[in-house]
């Protein structure tokens, strides 16, 4: 059986997507595109945890992709970073992985359809698979279920705030 992996573009990181169950791959340029501090920390911790791998697409995959997008007319709307992310998916497919690209970019999704590589968007469906909301006390950090109906912590009386957490 082929091993399922995720290929992430910058919209995936900004949307907070990074699977804990399957390996995630991206290209070096995406790392430098993610400028906002929170997303960048998220990304660095994923590399440290060994769930995110940074890899360059190979040349034959870049050439193959160029040929395909020339035909499809999506050339202009794709940046070099977009193209490299797509080529990385092709490289991984050749390496006997089953890549699943995570992107909110419609041009990229169109090319992925032609390449017959599965994809998912972050904002529409990705987040609810790996994140959930909880309530947490600002003071003592006690966690409450998201349907907890009081605004103050039962232990220390501090306000309770909503927080997004990973559930797997």
Cβ distance to Zn ion smaller for residue 123 or 140: 140
d(CA 106, CA 82): 11
Cβ distance to Zn ion smaller for residue 120 or 142: 142
Q: Which residue has the tokens 């050339």?
A: 75
52-54 and 24-26: which strand pairing? parallel
Cβ distance to Zn ion smaller for residue 16 or 139: 139
Of the residues 123, 156, 161, 167, which one makes contact with Zn ion according to CB under 5 A: 156
Of the residues 41, 114, 155, 165, which one makes contact with Zn ion according to CB under 5 A: 155
Q: How many helices (H) and strands (E) does the chain have?
A: 7, 8
- CB-neighbour burial class of residue 99 (10 A; exposed 0-12, middle 13-18, buried 19+): buried
Mark 114-143 with x for binding to Zn ion (rule: CB under 5 A) and - for no binding.
-----------------------x-xx-x-
If one asks whether residue 161 binds Zn ion (CB under 5 A), the answer comes out as no
- Interface with Zn ion (CB under 5 A), residue total 8
Residue 130 has which token pair?
């790996």
Where do contacts with Zn ion occur on this chain (CB under 5 A)?
Answer: 137, 139-140, 142, 153, 155-156, 158
């Amino acid at each position: 059986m082929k091993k399922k992996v995720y290929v992430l573009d910058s919209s995936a990181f900004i949307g907070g997507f990074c699977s804990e169950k399957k390996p995630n791959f991206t290209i070096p340029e995406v790392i430098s595109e993610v400028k906002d501090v929170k997303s960048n920390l998220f990304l660095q911790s994923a590399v440290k945890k060994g769930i995110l791998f940074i890899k360059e697409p190979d040349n034959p995959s870049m050439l193959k992709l160029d040929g395909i997008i020339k035909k499809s007319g999506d050339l202009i709307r794709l940046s070099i970073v977009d193209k490299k992310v797509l080529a990385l998916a092709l490289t991984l497919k050749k390496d006997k992985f089953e890549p699943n690209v995570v992107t909110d970019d419609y041009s990229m999704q169109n090319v992925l359809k032609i390449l017959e590589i599965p994809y998912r968007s972050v904002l529409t469906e990705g987040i609810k698979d790996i994140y959930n909301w909880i309530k947490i006390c600002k003071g003592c950090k006690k966690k409450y279920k998201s349907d907890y109906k009081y605004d103050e912590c039962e232990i220390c009386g501090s306000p309770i705030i909503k927080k997004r957490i990973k559930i797997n």
